[in-house]
């Protein structure tokens, strides 16, 4: 099977051609090794860093922005969003505070401080 991808690792956005034969993946069109790794992983184990917001329970109409520390498998994104939607945190919040621990192999952390 052949796939066409755009590498999203840097702004250059190389057009990748990926030839998939079972678990063998051959990537071309990449200007650097990162593109080969991206093409391989995107075809065999696609994952994304997830960003969202979490309710701050002791501040009216306040949310804190959050993100996963590491990418998670794409098939788990909707389930993670349900976990994040149900979560809340109490201020004060510091950047890097763990909001959801050990979900799909990573943590969800705050990316904004709330005094």
Give me the residues that bind ligand SF4 (CB under 6 A), please: 7, 9-10, 12-14, 30-32, 34-35
Contact 56, 113 (CB under 8 A): no
Report, in Å, the least distance between residue 32 CB and ligand SF4.
3
Residue number with CB closer to ligand SF4 (39 or 106) = 39
Q: Tokens for 90?
A: 């109490």
Report, in Å, the least distance between residue 49 CB and ligand SF4.
16
Residue number with CB closer to ligand SF4 (35 or 54) = 35
Residue number with CB closer to ligand SF4 (36 or 99) = 36
Residue number with CB closer to ligand SF4 (8 or 70) = 8
Report, in Å, the least distance between residue 22 CB and ligand SF4.
24
Distance CA 75, CA 77 (A): 6
Distance CA 79, CA 16 (A): 30
Report, in Å, the least distance between residue 35 CB and ligand SF4.
2
- Report the residue count for the chain: 115
């Amino acid at each position: 099977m052949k796939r066409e991808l755009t590498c999203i690792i840097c702004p250059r956005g190389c057009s990748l051609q990926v030839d998939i034969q079972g678990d063998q993946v051959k990537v071309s069109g990449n200007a650097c090794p990162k593109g080969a790794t991206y093409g391989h992983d995107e075809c065999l184990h696609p994952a994304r860093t997830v960003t969202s917001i979490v309710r701050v329970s002791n501040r009216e109409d306040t949310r804190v922005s959050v993100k996963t520390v590491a990418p998670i498998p794409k098939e788990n994104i909707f389930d993670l969003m349900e976990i994040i939607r149900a979560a809340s945190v109490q201020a004060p919040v510091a950047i890097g505070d763990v909001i959801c621990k050990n979900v799909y192999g990573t943590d969800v952390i705050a990316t904004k401080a709330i005094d």
